[in-house]
Amino acid sequence: MMFAFPPHRIAVNVPDAGQLLHRVTDALTQGRGFALATINLDHLVKLTRDRAFRDVYAAQDLVVADGNPIVWLSRLAGRPVALVPGSDMVVPLARTARECGVPVALVGSTRPALDAAAAALCQQIPGLQVAARIAPPMGFDPQGAEARAILEQLAASGARLCFLALGAPKQEAFAALGRQHQPDLGFASVGAGLDFLAGQQKRAPRWVRAIAMEWLWRMLGNPRRLIARYAACAVILPGQAVAALRQRGTDV
């Protein structure tokens, strides 16, 4: 059974990293496209407030739990899923692409960051082909004419798996457009994953992540931007917990 968020037509439909890599391998070897989203509480806030975000999220083929609160909610629902942070999956997904013999593309962030991320990936995964590095300009419309032009560029590059580091909701909106216009491409929304690889942003230490306090570490590092975001997440958490409990023993 899937762990679902019924009001939003969204569900975590890939339970762990192993299943994700299996499904991506299957898609890449069979020439099928896909869109991967990594849901967290901030996404749930946006889903509650933004109809357009709900529509593009519903277009994602694969959804994993990116955040301990999502994992905890799944356990309340009796449908446990594992934590699969998008940032942690960049290297495994790129390695899967190499094993399948398909090139990857990096989209988002800045060109220096993409160059550094590409270098880091190629160092860790010898033989990986990075076919394109595209940093859209500020104010980029993820479903406008420029987005369509980037999709054409990606298709022409030969890339089959595109890592999107545009942030929510832009990366999910771009992936949804890509599924319409380039159905043979795979899109993985990874947020700050490429910036972490490039050294442009510093990830919380492993011990902080191990005790599920990465959110606090990030907030202390950027309080002006994140206090309001995390406050909004805290507000919706009780209601999400009640909704999760209601899923126990149901077919939602």
Determine, yes or no, domain membership for 107. Answer: yes
Q: Which amino acid is at 70?
A: I
- Total tally of structural domains belonging to the chain: 1
Residues 6+ apart with CB under 8 A from 232: 42, 45
Q: What angle do the packed helices 86-100 and 111-124 form, to 10 degrees?
A: 60
Determine, yes or no, domain membership for 251. Answer: no
CA atoms within a 13 Å half-sphere pointing along the CA-CB vector of 36: 33
Instruction: Return d(Cα 93, Cα 91) in angstroms, integer.
Output: 5
Determine, yes or no, domain membership for 25. Answer: yes
Determine, yes or no, domain membership for 43. Answer: yes
User: Whose CA is closest to 245, among 58, 107, 79, 114?
Assistant: 79
- Which residue segment(s) compose the domain that 57 sits in? 3-246
Both tokens assigned to 29: 């070897």
Q: What pLDDT was estimated at residue 1?
A: 60
Give the residues of the chain that fall short of pLDDT 50: none
Task: Name the CA radius of gyration of the chain, rounded.
Answer: 18
Both tokens assigned to 97: 């692409």
Instruction: Return d(Cα 196, Cα 165) in angstroms, integer.
Output: 11
Determine, yes or no, domain membership for 252. Answer: no
Determine, yes or no, domain membership for 150. Answer: yes
Determine, yes or no, domain membership for 11. Answer: yes
Q: What pLDDT was estimated at residue 227?
A: 84
CB 56 within 8 A of CB 63: no
Q: Does the model's pTM come out above 0.75?
A: yes
- Using DSSP, state whether 58 is helix, strand or coil: helix
Other beta carbons within 10 angstroms of residue 198's beta carbon come to 23
Both tokens assigned to 37: 């989203």
Q: Quick one: DSSP state of residue 184?
A: T
Determine, yes or no, domain membership for 175. Answer: yes
Each residue's pLDDT tens digit, 78-118? 999 999 999 999 999 999 999 999 999 999 989 999 999 99
Q: What pLDDT was estimated at residue 252?
A: 59
